[in-house]
């Protein structure tokens, strides 16, 4: 826990206080590298969720009425606190979900970036004015907050992803009930504590920890105006169905099956460095992780060799150890999922070039480790080429031409991130134009989006919304159009034209 802020264990944060849950069920937070128990957090019931939503609803009128620049001042202070506590928060997140310290520092940094960036909107939140079609009539539009926002987040970016949702929601004048992943409740509590320390009034941000049941209670609560969800496609689609049945707005960020194209003329050293990072960084547990490499014939052998060479040298271990390059998977069930997919790949006829097993390194037995794995000879119809694995597994696929490579990249249901390595500007520009994903990189892997650009995917990755960038404001607000007629007479739009 954060040393400088007293974050009590086993409590939710509701209406400005750390409170005991109604029931006594607890989640246990476990270090996936060592098996060490880090602490407990409430496995909250529908009654806890109800309490939190009521608190948020009660806080809404005065938060909404607080001028946006004032709301933003609190968020700027939150950014400063995040800077000050970056190291502690990063260490906690590494212990809780396993990725290495340089990456959890990046995770916290992404939250800092987002908070500074979007707090700046407190003095903008632009609408626009436009001429009316009638004389002596003013017309303009403004953004309005929605009300109580339910935020449901995954464990892979336990600080950054909550910040992407909570900070914009707050600057826009909404109040929040935050339900983090059951694997990372302590990081969520610490992040909540920092935001609260910055000066948020009671009820403006509420934390209820728990698993699926807690999430379902939040989704189904009649007091919620919007659910912002990042997680698996299966759960996301259920969330969407439940929200849509009640006419509740929902923003979804779900799976990916991200691909990188490597053309024959590419800088293969750069491609190998970048793809090692994109495929095996965060142990492959990023929505943006590269899980398919599509190579043209002459580059194929070298790409596989250089990638395998680098991946073989990655040191697995506890993410707190500076010598570690790759941490464990987050849980036993995630590792099981990865093992199942590698088995499926083998049966489908892919060749395991590297990995395909748990590492045989003494000292790692208690963690959920899995070796970096490269599958070669993957073809577009295979399940390992179509389904999200969310682990350190990358499949190499052949393409005869740029056209075929683009077709393979686009030939999955998801559309988050893609990349192309080439020195040929014509090929790069064609790929940028024809690839149907929300994010495209040239001469860079599929990971590493920056907060001030829209983040999100096409097709089954999402439902059309974007996080990051100014586009995120469209998720957390709705428009109000205002007409002020100062002509002193009845003027009917579309009718009284002359």
Q: Can residue 157 be called a binding residue for ligand UN1 (CB under 6 A)?
A: yes
Closest Cα to residue 114, out of 478, 472, 479, 461?
Answer: 472
Q: How far is the CB of 250 from ligand UN1 (least distance, A)?
A: 17
Cβ contacts of 107-111, under 8 Å, gap ≥ 24: 107/157, 107/158, 107/159, 107/160, 108/82, 108/159, 108/160, 110/157, 110/159, 110/160, 110/163, 110/451, 111/82, 111/159, 111/160, 111/162, 111/163, 111/167, 111/191
Dist CA 325 CA 56 (whole Å): 41
Between 251 and 447, name the residue whose CB sits nearer to ligand UN1: 447
Between 337 and 346, name the residue whose CB sits nearer to ligand UN1: 337
Q: How far is the CB of 169 from ligand UN1 (least distance, A)?
A: 18
E strands, 117-169, are 128-131, 137-145, 148-152
**460 touches 414 (CB < 8 A):** yes
3 state DSSP class of 477: strand
Between 77 and 286, name the residue whose CB sits nearer to ligand UN1: 286
Distances (CA, A) of 193 to 38, 199, 249: 18, 10, 28
Q: How far is the CB of 337 from ligand UN1 (least distance, A)?
A: 16
Between 31 and 447, name the residue whose CB sits nearer to ligand UN1: 447
Choices 32-40, 176-184, 282-290, 357-365; region in contact with ligand UN1 by CB under 6 A: 282-290
Tallying the residues shown for the chain, one arrives at 498
Q: How far is the CB of 414 from ligand UN1 (least distance, A)?
A: 13
CB burial readout 218-238, b (16+ within 10 A) else e: bbbbebbbbbbbbbebebbeb
Site for ligand UN1 in 38-97 (CB under 6 A): none
Site for ligand UN1 in 287-306 (CB under 6 A): 287-288
Choices 44-52, 64-72, 210-218, 285-293; region in contact with ligand UN1 by CB under 6 A: 285-293
Mutual orientation of helices 233-245 and 212-219 as an angle, nearest 10°?
A: 30
The reply to whether 253 belongs to the active site is yes
Q: Can residue 274 be called a binding residue for ligand UN1 (CB under 6 A)?
A: no
Between 125 and 460, name the residue whose CB sits nearer to ligand UN1: 460
Site for ligand UN1 in 441-460 (CB under 6 A): 447-449
HSE-up of residue 52 (Cα within 13 Å, Cβ side): 35
Write the binding mask 394 to 433 for ligand UN1: x where contact by CB under 6 A, - elsewhere.
----------------------------------------
Catalytic residue among 121, 253, 388, 467: 253
Site for ligand UN1 in 94-133 (CB under 6 A): 110
Q: How far is the CB of 491 from ligand UN1 (least distance, A)?
A: 50
Choices 5-13, 198-206, 284-292, 328-336; region in contact with ligand UN1 by CB under 6 A: 284-292
E strands, 296-350, are none
Q: Can residue 465 be called a binding residue for ligand UN1 (CB under 6 A)?
A: no
Catalytic residue among 96, 287, 290, 467: 287
Number of residues interacting with ligand UN1: please give it, by CB under 6 A: 9
Q: How far is the CB of 175 from ligand UN1 (least distance, A)?
A: 24
The reply to whether 133 belongs to the active site is no
Given 71, 99, 286, 300, the residue binding ligand UN1 (CB under 6 A): 286
| Helices of type H across 172-211 | 185-197
Q: How far is the CB of 58 from ligand UN1 (least distance, A)?
A: 32
Mutual orientation of helices 185-197 and 86-97 as an angle, nearest 10°?
A: 160
61 DSSP assignment:
H
Binding site for ligand UN1 (CB under 6 A): 110, 156-157, 286-288, 447-449
Active site residues: 253, 287
């Amino acid at each position: 826990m954060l040393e400088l802020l007293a974050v009590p264990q086993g409590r939710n944060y509701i209406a400005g206080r750390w409170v005991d849950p109604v029931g006594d069920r607890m989640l246990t937070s476990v270090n996936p590298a060592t098996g060490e128990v880090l602490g407990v957090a409430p496995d909250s019931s529908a009654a806890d969720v109800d309490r939190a939503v009521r608190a948020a609803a009660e806080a809404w009128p005065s938060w909404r009425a607080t001028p946006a620049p004032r709301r933003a001042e609190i968020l700027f202070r939150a950014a400063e606190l995040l800077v000050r506590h970056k190291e502690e928060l990063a260490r906690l997140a590494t212990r809780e979900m396993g990725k290495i310290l340089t990456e959890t520092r990046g995770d916290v940094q992404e939250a800092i970036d987002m908070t500074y960036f979007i707090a700046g909107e407190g003095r903008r939140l632009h609408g626009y004015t436009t001429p009316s079609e009638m004389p002596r009539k003013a017309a303009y539009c403004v953004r309005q907050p929605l009300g109580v926002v339910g935020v449901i987040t995954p464990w892979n970016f336990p600080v950054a992803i909550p910040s992407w949702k909570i900070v914009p929601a707050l600057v826009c004048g909404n109040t929040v009930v935050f339900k983090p992943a059951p694997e990372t409740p302590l990081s969520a509590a610490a992040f909540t504590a920092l935001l609260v320390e910055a000066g948020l009034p009671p009820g403006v941000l509420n934390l209820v920890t728990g698993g699926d049941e807690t999430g379902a209670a939040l989704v189904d609560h009649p007091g919620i105006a919007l659910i912002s969800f990042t997680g698996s496609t299966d759960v996301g689609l259920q969330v969407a169905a439940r929200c849509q049945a009640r006419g509740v707005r929902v923003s979804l960020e779900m799976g990916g099956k991200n691909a990188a194209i490597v053309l024959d003329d590419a800088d293969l050293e750069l491609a190998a460095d970048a793809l090692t990072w994109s495929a095996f960084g965060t142990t492959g547990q990023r929505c943006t992780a590269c899980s398919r490499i599509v190579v043209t014939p002459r580059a194929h052998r070298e790409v596989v060799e250089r990638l395998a060479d680098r991946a073989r040298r990655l040191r697995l271990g506890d993410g707190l150890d500076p010598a570690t390059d790759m941490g464990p998977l987050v849980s036993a069930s995630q590792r099981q999922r990865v093992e199942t997919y590698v088995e499926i790949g083998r049966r489908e006829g892919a060749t395991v070039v590297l990995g395909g097993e748990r590492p045989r390194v003494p000292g790692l037995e208690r963690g959920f480790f899995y070796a970096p794995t490269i599958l070669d000879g993957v073809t577009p119809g295979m399940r390992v080429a179509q389904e999200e694995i969310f682990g350190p597994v990358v499949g190499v696929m052949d393409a005869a031409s740029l056209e075929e490579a683009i077709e393979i990249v686009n030939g999955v249901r998801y559309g988050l991130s893609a990349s192309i390595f080439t020195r040929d500007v014509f090929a790069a520009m064609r790929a940028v134009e024809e690839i149907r994903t929300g994010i495209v990189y040239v001469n860079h892997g599929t990971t590493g989006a920056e907060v001030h650009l829209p983040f999100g995917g096409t097709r089954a990755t999402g439902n059309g919304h974007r996080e990051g960038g100014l586009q995120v404001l469209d998720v957390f607000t709705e428009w109000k159009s205002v007409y002020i007629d100062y002509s002193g007479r009845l003027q009917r739009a579309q009718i009284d034209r002359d």
